[in-house]
Amino acid sequence: MSVSSRYSAILLSLSAGAITKGISIFFFIRLDQIVHSDLYRYGLIFDSKWALPYWWSLRIMISLLAAAVLVSILSAMVLMFYRRKGGRKSLDKVRLLLLADIGMSGSSTILFKRLDTIVHSDLYRFGLEFDLGWAMPYWTYASLALGCIGITIVATVVSVVLVVLRASVIARDVSAKLVSSVFFSAGIVSLVFSIYFSSSILAFIGLGLVFWGALMLYVRSEDYVKEILLVKTTLPMLQNLEYLLTKLDYK
């Protein structure tokens, strides 16, 4: 991959991550509207005992996602500065910002789990009656929001990988191992989240990342070509040598 195309890929990944985080915020706001509007028609009684923890989880979750959007934009700005001015420190800052982005996005899913527990456990003690009329829209928005966060994490991981490759301070073999390890680890995390949140979207993303991580770790084109060339050149030489020794009756 050329330098210009790599920069374009990084900026594209950052843009995709920022957009999907913004979309996930929209879905979480719609989710909150269901809780504070529709659920009262299904028997929910307002009480600060459930409202305060709910608001706390929701506000911190949305704040983390909004901060992650700003981090993505800031990362793109630092990257463009690095492209014009150069400098290793700028690239290090981009990596740190992207890792912080992943951490904030992942933390938001944990907070959503807390919020979802309040809705599907605590609210039933305050008069809420289960009905598909509110449950289906709630599950739909929740799945879409989590799917967007999953895509965001994948896009940010791809950006980190491309930035690490651009740094060119790690040997090629070490870079390949690092890239495969990042993909494999992100896939495992995505699979764990998919089980935790019962999300098929995260499961597909996780399986894809694990597959590509394992593929990059165990199947390397350079090593394969070198091995084939070694076999193709060494075996005929040994066979010719054995034939020559047999002809000369050498023991």
Buried/exposed 144-175: b ≥16 CB within 10 Å, e otherwise: bbbbbbbbbbbbbbbbbbbbbbbeeeeeeeeb
Residue 121 shares a structural domain with residue 3: yes
User: Residue 154 and residue 150: Cα distance in Å, rounded?
Assistant: 6
Residue 38 shares a structural domain with residue 110: yes
Query: What is the mean pLDDT of each successive set of 10 residues along the chain, which is 251 residues long?
Result: 63 84 92 92 93 93 92 85 66 80 87 91 92 92 86 80 60 52 66 65 70 61 47 50 53 49
Residue 92 shares a structural domain with residue 6: yes
Residue 153 shares a structural domain with residue 127: yes
DSSP 3-state assignment of 76?
helix
User: Residue 122 and residue 116: Cα distance in Å, rounded?
Assistant: 10
Residue 202 shares a structural domain with residue 250: no
For residue 155, which amino acid is it? A
Tokens of 248: 């000369």
Tabulate helix, strand, coil % of the chain (nearest 5): 90, 0, 10
pLDDT score, position 12: 80
Residue 93 shares a structural domain with residue 124: yes
Residue 116 shares a structural domain with residue 238: no
Total count of domains within the chain: 3
Residue 45 shares a structural domain with residue 158: yes
pLDDT score, position 34: 94
Residue 130 shares a structural domain with residue 27: yes
Domain that holds residue 240: 220-251
pLDDT score, position 240: 52
Q: Over the stretch 42-78, which tens digit does the pLDDT of each residue have?
A: 999 999 999 999 999 999 999 999 999 999 888 888 8
> How far from the centroid of its chain's Cα atoms is residue 138's Cα?
24
Residue 197 shares a structural domain with residue 158: no
pLDDT score, position 197: 61
For residue 27, which amino acid is it? F
pTM: 0.66
pLDDT score, position 224: 46
